[in-house]
Amino acid sequence: MISLKSVSHQYPGGLRIAFKDWQINNGDQWLLLGESGSGKTTLLHILTGILKPSAGDVQINETSIYNLSAKELDQFRGRNVGIIFQRPHLIKSLNISDNLVLAQSLAGLPTNLNRVNEVLTSLGIADKKKSYPNELSQGQLQRVSIARAVINKPALLIADEPTSSLDDKNATAVLELLLQQSGINQATLVVATHDKRVKDAFTNTYALS
Amino acid sequence: MSPLKISWKSLWSKPLSAALNMMLIAFGTGILTILLLASNQISEKLENNSKDIDLVVGAKGSPLQLILSSIYYIDFPTGNIPLKEAMELARSPFVKRAVPLALGDNYNGLRIVGTDTNFITLYKLKAAQGKFWEKDFETTIGAAVAKTQNLKVGDKFYGAHGLTDNADVHKNHEYVVSGILEPQGNVADNLILTNVASVWKMHDEHEDHDHEAEKHNHEDHEGHDHKAPTEVQANEESRELTSLLIQYRSPMSVAMFPRLVNETTNMQAASPAQESTRLFSLIGIGVDTLQWFAVLIMLIAAISVFVNLYNSLKERNYDLAIMRTLGASRTKLFMIVIAEGIMLTLAGTVIGVLLGHLILEFIGSNQESGQAQLTGFVLLYDEIYLFVAGLAIGIFAAIIPAIHAYRSNISKILAKN
């Protein structure tokens, strides 16, 4: 279970945003809606433990994440939160398989090549294992970034504008994969977007005003 | 996956700039390695050759020249000294051992040295084949001479007048190889040893050779020698040596003997230790210049590694931020960047040290003169400092980029895109 309680954030410029309390049950699939500049990215960063809010408490599975030390928080994030960015951002110097192994080892988990194969197969890109990021298409790269997000079976899967740079066909495909992967890995899914094409797939919506 | 592997892979994603940085470091380290090995070997050889010689007595002139010609056999002698006066000095109570040297001839650029058995004791020579010279015109040759000139025991050769060229060959007498020395690791390897009388006789002949008119008188020279002791006696008066190598009897001689020679005779005394130090300090200026040059290259290399890491960090900001979201701690990012710097410079150092050794070996094997043959196949303890320097440069160049990586605000970096 993930919960946000009386969280607010003050920007260095002086602008202050208060966020409504939010409770997400395990396995839920949520849509985080908001126009650009509404604090969507800020909320996502707070939720993933990248940005400490000025006030309030964030809990993921009964752990109050901002009470952890910096190092503990980094490791907690690596193990419990999977993040998919608008653009894939894989490590260019590593091949696809190594990019996933890197995610395992940075989270402090042992290398598990079976798991790497399993995830890549379920996303239909097992044949690209030895390729380097610059040899793959944008759609394939987005799949790899989903694979990297779910490799450690995180409790929370967060996607930030995962479809906005893709065409309709790829956007639908990626959305389906996200829903499917969160199901397979029993991860709670939060998709932040202003993309209208995505809306219909979700029943739960958290809207920023 | 260890941070080391991440650093390694990241370096190889830009092979050209990695190679450039490694080359710069390798160039600097290579020069330093060569300097280190060469100056070490040269000073070792200088010491090795003059180890047991306390003083050299020769004709007035440059003391350095006297040392160079009589101990290292490089320069020309300063002139000759009268045998009579030299022998008086040799009998002085200050002197434990005096070794006469008569130079003047060569065989294919290798010096023929007229001396006596004291030379054998002084340099602790051993014959590997045959025996030491006994009769006139018998020679014992150094190991390197035998090798380069292809001479065996029993072989005969003609000496030539002068110290370097073959223009003026003494055809009247031929030398016989009676023995070959064991390799000594000093100048004796490149010398042809014979007795003093052989050198004298060679030159008697030589002077006669110049006066064509008198030539026929000496056709039966051998006979003359035996029958006319007075002539030998007379010759004895005018006989000359090139120099005298002296071993002191006691430390007290150091203070007294050189002054005695310089003030009471027409000869000069030169101390190998002093002159070697002077010589080395002259070479040292060149070595110092090259050293600063190498240090400058290393500095440029350090800046280049720094710029390379700093620029690649700008491009990799996002990569590093992603690694943070995947669970990497700040310290880990710091280590990854530092490791990249160290890998670059250490790899460069290893290549440089190897190259330095190979190049010096190459130089050594192509050396004309065997006097101070250099070799690259030695390891010095001091080389460890080169690795320490490589490590330090790596850390120095990487520390600022690494601190940047450590301090980066990932939320800001991720929000930008």
One domain for residues B199 and B292: no
Tokens of B109: 């650029």
What pLDDT, on a 0 to 100 scale, did the predictor assign at position B236? 62
What pLDDT, on a 0 to 100 scale, did the predictor assign at position B232? 43
Helix, strand or coil for residue A82?
strand
Interface contact B407, partner A, CB < 8 A: no
- Tens digits of residue pLDDT in B303-316: 988 998 888 888 88
- Tens digits of residue pLDDT in A167-199: 888 888 888 888 998 888 889 999 988 888 888
Which residue is listed with tokens 């590694």?
Answer: B305
- Tens digits of residue pLDDT in B365-405: 887 655 557 888 888 888 999 999 999 999 998 999 999 99
| Higher local confidence (pLDDT), B321 or A164 | B321
At residue B216, does pLDDT exceed 50?
Answer: no
What pLDDT, on a 0 to 100 scale, did the predictor assign at position B215? 41
One domain for residues B290 and B247: no
What kind and span of H or E run contains B199?
A: helix B196-210
The answer to the question of residue B75 being in a domain is yes
Domain ranges of chain A: 2-207
Cβ contacts of B330 on chain A, cutoff 8 Å? 70-71, 74
User: What number of other Cβ atoms are within 10 A of residue B23's Cβ?
Assistant: 16
What pLDDT, on a 0 to 100 scale, did the predictor assign at position B372? 58
At residue B280, does pLDDT exceed 90?
Answer: no
One domain for residues B166 and B230: yes
- Tens digits of residue pLDDT in A100-129: 999 999 998 999 999 999 999 988 899 999
One domain for residues B238 and B116: yes
- Tens digits of residue pLDDT in B224-244: 444 334 444 446 667 889 999
At residue B208, does pLDDT exceed 70?
Answer: no
Say yes or no for a CB contact (<8 Å) between A78 and B327: yes
The CA-to-CA distance between both ends of chain B, in Å, stands at: 27
Q: What percent of chain A has pLDDT over 90?
A: 44
Range of the domain at B371: 3-46+284-416
Q: What is the rounded CA–CA span in Å between residue A116 and residue A99?
A: 10
Read off the pLDDT band of B288 (50, 70, 90).
confident
Pick from B270, B292, B311: which residue ends a domain?
Answer: B270
Of B6, B10, B327, Cβ closest to residue A77: B327
Say yes or no for a CB contact (<8 Å) between A93 and B9: yes
Q: What is the rounded CA–CA span in Å between residue A60 and residue A68?
A: 12
Cβ contacts of B1 on chain A, cutoff 8 Å? 98, 101-102, 104-106, 111
What pLDDT, on a 0 to 100 scale, did the predictor assign at position B283? 79
Q: What is the rounded CA–CA span in Å between residue B58 and residue A198?
A: 103
Q: What percent of chain B has pLDDT over 90?
A: 29
Pick from B239, B270, B301: which residue ends a domain?
Answer: B270
The answer to the question of residue B127 being in a domain is yes
Q: Which of B285, B307, B263 is nearest to B397 (CA)?
A: B307
Say yes or no for a CB contact (<8 Å) between B327 and A106: yes
Say yes or no for a CB contact (<8 Å) between B414 and A87: no
Say yes or no for a CB contact (<8 Å) between B325 and A50: yes
Cβ contacts of B325 on chain A, cutoff 8 Å? 48, 50, 77-78, 81, 83
Q: What is the rounded CA–CA span in Å between residue B216 and residue B128?
A: 41
User: What number of other Cβ atoms are within 10 A of residue B249's Cβ?
Assistant: 15
Query: Contact at 8 Å (CB) between A118 and A97?
Result: no
Say yes or no for a CB contact (<8 Å) between B417 and A111: no
At residue B88, does pLDDT exceed 70?
Answer: yes
At residue B351, does pLDDT exceed 50?
Answer: yes
Cβ contacts of B323 on chain A, cutoff 8 Å? 91, 102, 106
One domain for residues B221 and B348: no
Q: What percent of chain B has pLDDT over 70?
A: 90
Q: At what angle do helices A138-150 and A168-184 cross, to 10 degrees?
A: 20
CA distance B387 to chain A (A): 28
Instruction: Region of B149 please: left (phi>0), alpha (psi -120 to 50) or beta.
Output: alpha
Q: What is the rounded CA–CA span in Å between residue A87 and residue A40?
A: 16
Q: Which residues of A touch B (CB under 8 A)?
A: 41-42, 45, 48, 50-51, 70-71, 74-75, 77-79, 81, 83, 85-87, 89, 91-94, 98, 101-108, 111, 148
CA distance A15 to chain B (A): 16
Task: Choose from B10, B324, B325 for mutation: most chain A CBs within 10 A.
Answer: B325
One domain for residues B117 and B236: yes
Cβ contacts of B331 on chain A, cutoff 8 Å? 71
One domain for residues B191 and B128: yes
One domain for residues B234 and B150: yes
B82 CB-near residues (< 8 Å, 6+ apart): B238, B239, B240, B241
One domain for residues B293 and B395: yes
User: What number of other Cβ atoms are within 10 A of residue A169's Cβ?
Assistant: 9
Say yes or no for a CB contact (<8 Å) between A41 and B327: no
Query: Contact at 8 Å (CB) between B159 and B120?
Result: no
ipTM, interface predicted TM-score of the complex: 0.89
Q: Mean pLDDT across the stretch B406-417?
A: 84
One domain for residues B241 and B265: yes
Of B1, B329, B415, Cβ closest to residue A41: B415
- Tens digits of residue pLDDT in A78-91: 999 999 988 888 98
- Tens digits of residue pLDDT in A63-72: 899 999 988 9
User: What number of other Cβ atoms are within 10 A of residue B229's Cβ?
Assistant: 10
What pLDDT, on a 0 to 100 scale, did the predictor assign at position B368? 62
Read off the pLDDT band of B214 (50, 70, 90).
very low
User: What number of other Cβ atoms are within 10 A of residue A179's Cβ?
Assistant: 15
| Higher local confidence (pLDDT), B222 or B390 | B390
At residue B293, does pLDDT exceed 50?
Answer: yes
Which residue is listed with tokens 């409770």?
Answer: A23
Say yes or no for a CB contact (<8 Å) between B325 and A51: no
One domain for residues B358 and B209: no
Mean pLDDT lowest among A21-25, B38-42, B329-333: B38-42
Tokens of B363: 């130089």
Bridge partners, B243 (sequence order): B58, B101
The answer to the question of residue B279 being in a domain is no
Please provide the DSSP assignment of B345-368 as one string: HHHHHHHHHHHHHHHHHHHHHT-S
Amino acid identity of B412? K
What pLDDT, on a 0 to 100 scale, did the predictor assign at position A196? 80
The answer to the question of residue B169 being in a domain is yes
Please provide the DSSP assignment of B107-141 as one string: ETTEEEEEE-HHHHHHTT--EEEE----STTEEEE
CA distance B355 to chain A (A): 29
What pLDDT, on a 0 to 100 scale, did the predictor assign at position A170? 82
Say yes or no for a CB contact (<8 Å) between A89 and B319: yes
Say yes or no for a CB contact (<8 Å) between A77 and B330: no
The answer to the question of residue B372 being in a domain is yes
Interface contact B299, partner A, CB < 8 A: no
Read off the pLDDT band of B221 (50, 70, 90).
very low
Read off the pLDDT band of A207 (50, 70, 90).
confident
- The total of structural domains in chain B comes to 2
Cβ contacts of B327 on chain A, cutoff 8 Å? 74-75, 77-79, 103, 106-108
Q: How many CB pairs under 8 A join A and B?
A: 79
Cβ contacts of A87 on chain B, cutoff 8 Å? 417
Average pLDDT, chain B: 84
What pLDDT, on a 0 to 100 scale, did the predictor assign at position B412? 87
- Tens digits of residue pLDDT in B113-151: 999 999 998 888 888 888 999 888 899 999 888 988 888
At residue B217, does pLDDT exceed 90?
Answer: no
Q: What is the rounded CA–CA span in Å between residue B224 and residue B221?
A: 5
| Higher local confidence (pLDDT), B209 or B386 | B386
Of B1, B12, B319, Cβ closest to residue A101: B1
At residue B213, does pLDDT exceed 50?
Answer: no
Q: What is the rounded CA–CA span in Å between residue B295 and residue B300?
A: 9
Largest separation between any pair of C-alpha atoms in chain B: 113
CATH placement of domain A2-207: 3.40.50.300
At residue B210, does pLDDT exceed 60?
Answer: no
CA distances from A190 to A1, A31, A79, A87, B220 (A): 13, 6, 17, 17, 119
User: What number of other Cβ atoms are within 10 A of residue B20's Cβ?
Assistant: 16
How far is C-alpha B63 from the chain's CA centre? 20
- Tens digits of residue pLDDT in B180-192: 999 887 888 889 9
Read off the pLDDT band of B218 (50, 70, 90).
very low
What kind and span of H or E run contains B288?
A: helix B272-325
Q: Which of B382, B390, B394 is nearest to B28 (CA)?
A: B390
- ∠ CA B256-B257-B262, rounded to 5°: 105
- ∠ CA B401-B405-B408, rounded to 5°: 130
A78 CB-near residues (< 8 Å, 6+ apart): A103, A106, A107, A108, A152, B325, B326, B327, B328
What pLDDT, on a 0 to 100 scale, did the predictor assign at position B371? 55
What pLDDT, on a 0 to 100 scale, did the predictor assign at position A144? 93
Taking the complete model, does pTM exceed 0.90, yes or no? no
One domain for residues B290 and B382: yes
Bridge partners, A188 (sequence order): A156
What pLDDT, on a 0 to 100 scale, did the predictor assign at position B228? 39
